[in-house]
Amino acid sequence: MTSQTNDPMLHTLRRLTVLEPGAARSERVRQRCRTTLAERQLQPGRSRGASRSAAVVLESGLTYGVSVGYLFAMINDLLRVYMRR
Amino acid sequence: MERESELALVARLRAGDPAAFDTVHQAFNTRLFNFLARLSQRREVAEDLLEETWLRLVAHAPALRTDTRLAPWLFTVARNLYATYCRARRVEQSHAGSLIGLWPCPALQSSPFEALAAGELERRIETALATLPVASREALLLMAIEGLSTAEAADVCGVSSDAMRQRVSRARALLARRLAAADRPPLALLSEAKT
């Protein structure tokens, strides 16, 4: 950018009118973002921890359920084969 | 913004400090709006994308890298949101360029105050800038107007520093040609066309 620093056109570009965003909307967005951050600060990791432990419980439950089901199906098949004999 | 205070600000943002957000918002809100307004040529689109940019910052604040440079990060998000907007609207760059070319004065000067404040030269530059292809326009907006370094602007646009330097150089030449063409009176152009 050093060679372009003294470029009159780029200099003019730098001095273009600064466009202002709508003040009311900017303030609304700022407040919304502040609120989100503040809420997150109030519950540091609580919700994340809760959802993680719920996921762990659900995962374990599903694993046990599927394993028990598989075991019963296997025993059932074995018994059926044994009874035929 | 000095690097040390920027790093401290990033650390506070990561921790979810609303006051840190206020500081960043104050420093970048107008800059981002100017970038998006001149990129999109529409105030309402720029306002929407600006809001989305801030929401993205809040959503990603805890995951920010400790050495994040805020200006490139924010301008990258703003630029990507604009690209997504264009894709959603199926606005091709060339098509947008030809559409913009139909408007002698871009719809940026929405208030009488802004229209009054803009001088003749400025109005011509704004018009010429609006007719540049998006890649050229964003290069000039980032480096000439927002004052990002070549490396930062290259980061934002996802190109190498050399490519960015070339892009700015080409954009500058194109802008100069457009301005020169706008300077010539229509009658001169007409006589040129006849000969």
CATH number at residue B31: 1.10.1740.10
B76 and B109 housed in the same domain = no
pLDDT of residue A84: 83
Number of domains within chain A = 1
B51 and B108 housed in the same domain = no
Q: What is the pLDDT of residues B78-97, one digit of tens each?
A: 999 999 998 888 655 554 54
Token pair recorded at residue B166: 């070339």
B70 and B132 housed in the same domain = no
User: A 47-76 residues with CB below 8 A of B?
Assistant: none
Is residue B38 within 8 Å of B153, Cβ to Cβ?
A: no
Does the pLDDT value for residue B29 go beyond 80? yes
B38 and B4 housed in the same domain = yes
pLDDT of residue B90: 66
Confidence of residue B102 (pLDDT cuts 50, 70, 90): very low
Residue B168: give its domain's CATH number.
1.10.10.10
Partner-chain contact A25 B51, CB within 8 Å: yes
Euclidean distance between CA atoms B75 and B149, whole angstroms: 13
Q: Helix crossing, B18-40 with A23-42: angle to 10°? A: 140
Does the pLDDT value for residue B65 go beyond 80? yes
What is chain B's mean pLDDT, rounded? 83
Distance of CA B28 to the CA centre of its chain: 13
Q: Is residue B38 part of a domain?
A: yes
Range of the domain at A80: 19-84
Section A63-84 average pLDDT: 92
B3 and B72 housed in the same domain = yes
* A23 touches B at CB < 8 Å: no
pLDDT of residue B173: 92
Confidence of residue B137 (pLDDT cuts 50, 70, 90): very high
Chain A residue closest to B18 (CA)? A34
Q: Is residue A2 part of a domain?
A: no
Section B153-164 average pLDDT: 94
Partner-chain contact B18 A37, CB within 8 Å: yes
Task: Please tell me which residue, B116 or B143, carries the higher pLDDT value.
Answer: B143
Section B55-61 average pLDDT: 95
Range of the domain at B38: 1-92
What is chain A's mean pLDDT, rounded? 83
Q: Is residue B194 part of a domain?
A: no
CB nearest to A19's CB, from B16, B33, B143: B33
Number of domains within chain B = 2
B27 and B109 housed in the same domain = no
B110 and B63 housed in the same domain = no
